[in-house]
Structure 1
Amino acid sequence: MAMEELQTQVEEYSSSAVMALVQEHFQMAVEVKSLPGYVDLNYLLTDELGERFILKIANADESLAELDMQNAVMHYLNEQDLQPYLLPKVIKNLAGNEITPLQDSYGRQRSLRLLSYVPGIFYYEHQELASSHHAQLGALLGKLDLCLQGFSHSAASRHFDWDLKHAKSVIESKVGLITDSSQRQQVLSILSGFIHQVTPFIDELPQGVIHNDVNDYNLLLSSGERDAAVIGLIDFGDMVHSYQINELAIACAYAILGAESPLAIIKAITLAYHQQRPLNGAELWVLLPLIAARLAVSVCNSAEAILAEPDNDYLLVTAKPAWAAIATLLKLDAKSVGFELQRLCLSEKEGAGNCFSSAEGTDTTSSERHRDILSQRAERLFKTLSVSYEQPLIIERGQGQFLLDEHNIAYLDMVNNVCHVGHCHPAVVAAGQEQMAKLNTNTRYLNDNILDYSQALLDTFPERLSVVMFVNSGSEANELAMRLMRCKTQSDELVVVDGAYHGNTNKAIEISPYKFNGPGGEGAAEHIHIVPMPDPYRGPFKGMSVESGQAYAQSVEQAISALQQDGKQLGGYICESLQGVGGNLIMPNGYLKAVYQAVRHAGGVCIADEVQVGFGRVGSHWWAFETQDVVPDIVTLGKPIGNGHPMAAVVTTKEIAAAFVTGMEYFNTFGGNPVSCAIGKAVIDTIESENLMGNARDTGDYLQTCLRKLQKQFDIIGDVRGLGLFIGVELVEDEKLTPATAKAQALIEWLKSRHILLSLDGPFNNVLKIKPPMVFNKDNVDYFIEQLAQGLSRINA
């Protein structure tokens, strides 16, 4: 509405004109005071007895149906049990009508309504708002939406830019109006979060008519004192049929403006809301990105208004608190906040078996589904296929460092080193979808993807490791490494580390003591030579010193010497750069340097298995072998390379690659296909753009510091070891290092009940293996440490 037109309206409906209208239609003598309004003209009326009323003259563009809806909802709510809250009541005119038609000087139809006055002071006027007021606000919202579940009106289905249901389209259409590039990028970040964290859960969000504008100008308190109570709500002009969670999101967006601790306010309002109208897992999961989206819609609409009125400084001033709140919210990890809100609202009483109550369905229904799935797996799948936990989980979604079950309840994933940059990372998903829609074929056709990706991957390696071959799994990568070794040395004689695991193909099992010496295994083949695991905690040589590393390396030298005495040529030595199933072990300093020297002196090749620990997980380097200051001859990659997409690679030297050229073609139908390469490139780009190596270093250091503090408190923690986000916690019964296997298993089940996913490794299954997605953060650490301490206390008790 143009400013001059609004001014004309104000003059047309002056105090004297309003007094005459009230006398004519309500036969009341009143004093009139103009009130501020967004699109309507509002007046405070006081009659001869001192009773007050609110008169509203609607904008000419406002439909009668929408005004009727406002009247209808006030009637409806005043008949419900909304005590102790006060709401306006509609007062009929002399003709018995709730809406009085007027005609303005432009000849347009206007509508006049008279409402009762709701006493109190506005929320924004209170100078000392406390958590109690935020809780009261949440309680009002919860009761309001609970009551509104029974209300409907045809006008509620209108399309409205302030309806968060349309946040995506509103932001997309208006974000270009924001002139500041950094602010525009902030809004685009919010849009991305909305698309990826809210959109997948849309079908899980209950809908209904909502107030849609509970802000500090529509909310009334009993007084300005500290113990003031929320007593009333006014202005139903923005009502719409939408997702009910939007009511809470909008109120929170207003409540955090100017606040130093927005998350504390959001939590207080949300918990109180939930206690009145229980929220489901999806609603809690999407709340923070919805709050951010409301602020983004606000600044986009402000940008549009500023273009229409560039000289209106007021518009700039009112947008400042929203921009400040946006900057604050973008510092939070929305998924971790969703997890925290679920813990806050869905927690059962202390001592319950599960941290969260089921948001939907019943335990009986859930257990029936579990039984059905397990039964069908047993019937159709190999019996060797295992499941995790005594009560297996049904997992239906993954986002970031979280897995979500069939009720959209989140679990903190601390063990999945496959989804390296986070479950379903948007950039990785988009890269795969885009390429899959364009082309997927084999490497016999020329395509730039394999060139772009191979260069990006090789750029992370030392210079001499300059040739790559793409395969489909870590097992296949290690099998190809064995072929490369044989072609280079003409020998299959291989030195392996005890307890190591290199895959599940025949050849990979043949070189994996974890498999061939485990249940169902057939022992080592004649050409496989086992050396002790370089365990600086449990082994004969303690500590991380170079002396310990060299002492363990002597076993490799002895194995090579034995081979030479038998007149056999060494083929090579393979070792995980950090021991995974061996118990998340970090090898002593100098170990690999001494081993590699001995292997190369004997004409063998050095193979580093980085399938579990590569791609920056150690925090300090791209590859874990770099922490030992060595350069292998062959490196095998898998798991994190595709963030869950089945791909792997072998990186080697030009010399070894040339030895593989024997006349036999090596062709892999799927290895290096355009889709896999696009996904792999997106993983590398994400690691770099999101500084995930730095996060692994900082978060991992913080986690180890916290764990060592617990170690001083709980004797059962025998050892804490790790690099970056590859950490092991070994549990022991006593100073003799008796493995606390049963207690470790009980602890894993306890942590699962607290919605933390971990598992065990090591020769005795007594090591907590911690290798979460690289987006794992310090807030996640704090929750894990809190729950771990509780679990250890229970075990001790």
Structure 2
Amino acid sequence: MPETESLVQAPPPEISPDEAADLAAALFGVTGSARPLGSNQDLNFVIDDGVAPRLLKIANPATPAAELEAQSRAAARIAERSDVRVPMPHVFDDGTSVRAVELEGGIAHARLLDFLPGRTLSGSRYLSPAAIRAMGRLAASVDLALAGFADPGAERTNQWDLQHAPAALAALLPSVADTALRARLRSTAESAWRAVAVHAESLPQQVIHGDLTDDNVVTTDGRVPDGVIDLGDLGRTWRVGELAITLSSLLHHDGVDLPAALEAVRAYHEVLPLADAELDVLWPLLALRAAVLVASAHHILLTDPGNEYAAENLAHEELIFEAAVSLPLPVATELVRHAVGADAPPLRTPSGRLIRPRSTPGLLDLSVDSALLDEGRWLDPDAESELLRAATAEHPVATRFGEPRLTRSRPYAHDGPANVPLGLDFAVPEPVALQAPWDGVVDLSGDLVAGGLRLRLRGASDVVAGPVREGEVFAEVVDVVTISLVADGVDVPEFTTAALAPAWRPFVADPSPLLGLPPAAIRTSDAGRLLHRREEHVAEVQEHYFDEPPVMLRGWRELLVDEDGRVYVDALNNVTSIGHAHPLLVHNIARQWSLLNTNSRFHYPQIAEFAERLAGLLPDGLDQVFLVNSGSEAVDLALRLAQAHTGRKDVVAVREAYHGWTYLTDAVSTSVADNPSALETRPEWVHTVDAPNPFRGVHRDDPSRYAVDAVAEVERLADAGTPPGAFLAETLYGNAGGVALPAGYLEAVYAAVRAHGGVAVADEVQVGYGRLGHWFWGFEQQGVVPDIVAVAKAMGNGHPLGAVITTPEIAASYRSQGYFFSSAGGSPVSSVVGLTVLDVIQSEGLQQNAAEVGGYLKERLQELGTRHPLLATVHGFGFYLGPEFAREDGAPATEETAAICDRMRRLGVIIQPTGDFQNVLKVKPPMVFTRESADAFVDALDRVLSTGW
């Protein structure tokens, strides 16, 4: 073991920026200003000569020149053998890169290196999964490049070499004044070292970077690192130490929990497979690294109190340490193994019976899709106990082992719930004796211990401590007992998260067979397999949200729940206008389907009532209703009606709009986000006008010009002998992000079109039906009345339903096209759905809720924009809002918006981008959205904008 003094670094030399600039000029012939960078043991200065900045590194006087030359040669090796960017040193004619510097404290050595463009990942900001995986790949790529590298300067001893962690801690721990912290650091290190020592002789060794951390990687795109800097800890040691160091540096970043950080391990393993022994020591080495980091920071601050860099890092290093010890070492190691697909087998349940056969329980289903938890019952804090009590009215019941319980899930949490039971509950209507399933000893805690297993009983009565024989009664359950079967010596919680559950399974066995039940079928995530099946058979162009979409199994009001019981706020779903799984809608659909559902050419009361209700929502004269199945069909039919009525094919449409996927609706859709070739592939009868966007458009300085230009286009077409038969527009610019049209826009354009015999078509598919709060229809906000109205989405709450409402004269014009028929449009069930949705909107005051809660949400978002300049403006009204993101120069923040949406999903909020630049959030939640959900949405967005995406 090395002398402890050699493992404690001295304070860095003291050199001012002016002195550093002079040294750069004298030693390397580079003149320019010097700007200091932080470091624990060296001095780093950026030398800016106005052409290409360089990095002047003045090493700690304790660092010999040979080590620095080794670093220079290692950098060249990495550059030659990988695609990792590294700062190349200035090399003199004699092949050396180091020059001596005389200081007050002795001789130090300096080098001049290229300064890599970009920024490091320093700090505590969020790291995306892509960034974490890139960290793992970088570490593996550097290790591959340095494999076989030999240099005398790399044969060194330093405090960061994890081979010497015990000696380093022996030297550093006396500097930790906090007695309790010092004891925790020592205890953690001793346990970790015991786990490492078992494999020490078999661990592969080579020269490694030694400090490949968030501080020492560089990213050019601001998100994913592609370069490595600072080889100051280069040395020959255990190869896996590289990954342990890299992994530790991720754990203090916002939102990076253990499963997220282990993406780096998976990525490393894909490039450079880890040996079994390396998998077993990785987490213990990380724990050692964390202990050394904390102890070293205390030592630096004791010997160099003014070191602000070390003081700032201490807070991060304490977070790293807490994360490192948040799981027992064996469990954390199994999490590592799970990350690379090398899971240990689950703990086996020995044969034996805890109860007599007549007491064998039934199973109580508390899973995500349990019918017992319908209608939001899972949100009741007492639901679990009440369901257990109700189920045991006549016979014993048990819950399922290892299955996520929805009763343990809650909305608005930024992390996944601890809802996976590592045991089960056994409830009885009358007392049941518990007998020893095998020989063992009942200890003072009431647990039966035998053969390395602990049968843990919580809530049992009349427990008899001492030795017991198989079949001997040693306790009784009077009400409910929680039963766990765990590895003795491992502190197993009653519940864990779905992400951590695989790591616990080698330490917990299924108690179900002890109760006479079949072993629980432990569910593994279906997300990847299901996505593969979907992509195999669902056409590729039929896209899904998110690259790694969660599997959704349940909805309730404005909440969605995935297969793991993770609850999300649905801020996106304008289809489900009255909320997911509305009980009245569920009941009315089931009842009508049990009576009659057939095609709409039969005569039944529901279609008449629904059409009457719809017509009553429109201004006088708009009283003829066509019922269809979707928004695309509704807009398509509206255009066909316009063409039939006017005898003209020409249509004026607004750019950046989307109206549907049928032939006619696609022809008039001009959103390049939905079709990059939209403008170039329009038929000759489609004429477009500028998107009337007051914030981002050709007339943002004078939005009234949009109407002038649109009217001019109508006049131009009329003068050319092709007056438009129709003008089609969303009445609030939904596809662009809820952008309100300039005042008077529709009034002017409608008048111009009508003056030449055309008709005005209002696309209300997204924005109508009370969503705007202050108005039931979007056209009301503009103070106009269209000739044809197309509506869908909100009408059916997810059931396929759409409608076109127009005048008797225009409706009659369709006769020239034949007759109209839609099999399911307006069917008995569809009509009941439509009627129920209207009833709920009225009876529950959902339009008023959109006005009040939507207004509150917009105010909060606007306030957020005052603190986060990226949030440039907030469009829209009610529950159709569009927060728009723009960079400092006003350019659309497209990439940022996509990343923000992904991080919001990871924080439990479902949101997506919209608009031609995909830089606007489409905030159009179910109209039952509450203030609590609005706060959860804004708070999550605030966290994202504050800590990164």
* Structure with greater contact order relative to length (CA < 8 Å, sep ≥ 6): 1
Aligned-partner Cα distance in 1 for 2:523–2:917: 33
For 2:93, the equivalent position in structure 1 comes to: none
For 2:904, the equivalent position in structure 1 comes to: 751
Aligned-partner Cα distance in 1 for 2:722–2:945: 51
- Contact 2:769–2:795 under 8 Å retained in 1: yes
- Contact 1:719–1:731 under 8 Å retained in 2: yes
Aligned-partner Cα distance in 2 for 1:668–1:211: 50
Q: Does 1:611 align with 2:611?
A: no
Aligned-partner Cα distance in 2 for 1:520–1:552: 24
CA positional deviation for 1:541: 3.4
Aligned-partner Cα distance in 1 for 2:815–2:796: 28
Which one of 699, 707, 721 corresponds to residue 541 of structure 1?
699
Q: Does 1:783 align with 2:936?
A: yes
Aligned-partner Cα distance in 2 for 1:363–1:529: 63
For 1:409, the equivalent position in structure 2 comes to: 566
Task: Give the 5 Å matches for 1:105-184.
Answer: none
CA positional deviation for 1:668: 1.6
CA positional deviation for 1:151: 7.3
Aligned-partner Cα distance in 2 for 1:153–1:212: 23
Task: Give the 5 Å matches for 1:42-53.
Answer: none
Aligned-partner Cα distance in 1 for 2:534–2:663: 25
Pair 460,240 (structure 1): closer, same or farther in 2 beyond 3 Å: same
CA positional deviation for 1:358: 4.1
Q: Does 1:532 align with 2:690?
A: yes
CA positional deviation for 1:724: 0.4
Q: Secondary structure at the match of 1:488?
A: helix
Which one of 611, 616, 624 corresponds to residue 467 of structure 1?
624
Pair 538,208 (structure 1): closer, same or farther in 2 beyond 3 Å: closer
Q: Secondary structure at the match of 2:645?
A: helix
Aligned AA for 1:755? G
Pair 447,786 (structure 1): closer, same or farther in 2 beyond 3 Å: same
For 2:225, the equivalent position in structure 1 comes to: none
- Contact 2:658–2:669 under 8 Å retained in 1: yes
Q: Secondary structure at the match of 1:534?
A: coil
Aligned AA for 1:504? W
Task: Give the 5 Å matches for 1:330-479.
Answer: 358=499, 369-479=526-636
Which one of 777, 782, 795 corresponds to residue 623 of structure 1?
777
Q: Does 1:721 align with 2:900?
A: no
Runs of 4+ in structure 1 deviating by more than 3 angstroms, as ranges, are: 150-159, 192-195, 198-201, 205-213, 237-245, 277-280, 355-368, 540-543
Which one of 778, 786, 796 corresponds to residue 642 of structure 1?
796
Aligned AA for 1:792? L
For 1:320, the equivalent position in structure 2 comes to: none
Q: Does 1:568 align with 2:722?
A: yes
Q: Does 1:557 align with 2:707?
A: no
Aligned AA for 1:198? R
Aligned-partner Cα distance in 1 for 2:396–2:910: 38
For 2:834, the equivalent position in structure 1 comes to: 680
CA positional deviation for 1:523: 1.7
Aligned AA for 1:424? A
Aligned-partner Cα distance in 2 for 1:515–1:542: 20
Q: How far does the alpha carbon of each residue in 1:168-197 deviate from its partner, in whole angstroms, 9 at most, with x for none?
A: xxxxxxxxxxxxxxxxxxxxxxxx997523
For 1:669, the equivalent position in structure 2 comes to: 823
Aligned AA for 2:545? S
For 1:486, the equivalent position in structure 2 comes to: 643
Q: Secondary structure at the match of 1:712?
A: helix
Aligned-partner Cα distance in 2 for 1:569–1:375: 50
Pair 157,374 (structure 1): closer, same or farther in 2 beyond 3 Å: closer
- Contact 2:420–2:497 under 8 Å retained in 1: no
Aligned AA for 2:376? Q
Aligned AA for 1:631? V
CA positional deviation for 1:607: 0.5
Q: Does 1:577 align with 2:731?
A: yes
Aligned-partner Cα distance in 1 for 2:677–2:706: 29
Q: Secondary structure at the match of 2:757?
A: coil
Aligned-partner Cα distance in 1 for 2:530–2:846: 36
Aligned-partner Cα distance in 2 for 1:533–1:512: 12
CA positional deviation for 1:554: 1.2
TM-score, normalised with respect to structure 1 = 0.57
Aligned-partner Cα distance in 1 for 2:820–2:355: 67
Counting aligned pairs with the same residue, the percent is 33
CA positional deviation for 1:751: 0.5
Structure 1 gaps of 5+ residues are 1-149, 166-191, 214-236, 246-251, 253-265, 284-354
Pair 495,653 (structure 1): closer, same or farther in 2 beyond 3 Å: same
Aligned AA for 2:917? F
Aligned-partner Cα distance in 2 for 1:397–1:673: 26
CA positional deviation for 1:357: 5.1
Pair 471,770 (structure 1): closer, same or farther in 2 beyond 3 Å: same
For 1:730, the equivalent position in structure 2 comes to: 884
For 1:596, the equivalent position in structure 2 comes to: 750
Aligned AA for 1:758? I
- Contact 1:418–1:640 under 8 Å retained in 2: yes
Q: How far does the alpha carbon of each residue in 1:514-533 deviate from its partner, in whole angstroms, 9 at most, with x for none?
A: 16993354522111111011
Aligned AA for 2:592? Q
TM-score, normalised with respect to structure 2 = 0.48
Pair 362,700 (structure 1): closer, same or farther in 2 beyond 3 Å: farther
- Contact 1:209–1:244 under 8 Å retained in 2: no
Aligned-partner Cα distance in 2 for 1:648–1:666: 14
Pair 749,663 (structure 1): closer, same or farther in 2 beyond 3 Å: closer
Pair 567,611 (structure 1): closer, same or farther in 2 beyond 3 Å: same
Q: How far does the alpha carbon of each residue in 1:612-642 deviate from its partner, in whole angstroms, 9 at most, with x for none?
A: 1111000012111111111110000111110
Task: Give the 5 Å matches for 1:84-123.
Answer: none
Q: Secondary structure at the match of 2:795?
A: helix
Q: How far does the alpha carbon of each residue in 1:257-276 deviate from its partner, in whole angstroms, 9 at most, with x for none?
A: xxxxxxxxx99xx9xxx99x
Q: Does 1:511 align with 2:668?
A: yes
Pair 211,411 (structure 1): closer, same or farther in 2 beyond 3 Å: closer
- Contact 2:715–2:752 under 8 Å retained in 1: no
Aligned-partner Cα distance in 1 for 2:872–2:905: 22
For 1:652, the equivalent position in structure 2 comes to: 806
Pair 197,557 (structure 1): closer, same or farther in 2 beyond 3 Å: same
Aligned AA for 2:685? H
**What is the number of residues matched between the two proteins?**
493
Aligned-partner Cα distance in 1 for 2:788–2:398: 55
Aligned-partner Cα distance in 2 for 1:392–1:422: 21
Q: Does 1:708 align with 2:897?
A: no
- Contact 1:549–1:590 under 8 Å retained in 2: no
Aligned AA for 1:429? V
**424-433 vs 670-679, which moves further:** 424-433
Aligned AA for 1:474? G
For 1:187, the equivalent position in structure 2 comes to: none
For 2:376, the equivalent position in structure 1 comes to: 197
Q: Secondary structure at the match of 2:922?
A: strand
- Contact 2:882–2:923 under 8 Å retained in 1: yes
Aligned-partner Cα distance in 2 for 1:542–1:559: 19
Aligned-partner Cα distance in 1 for 2:504–2:577: 33
Q: Secondary structure at the match of 2:660?
A: coil
- Contact 1:209–1:240 under 8 Å retained in 2: no
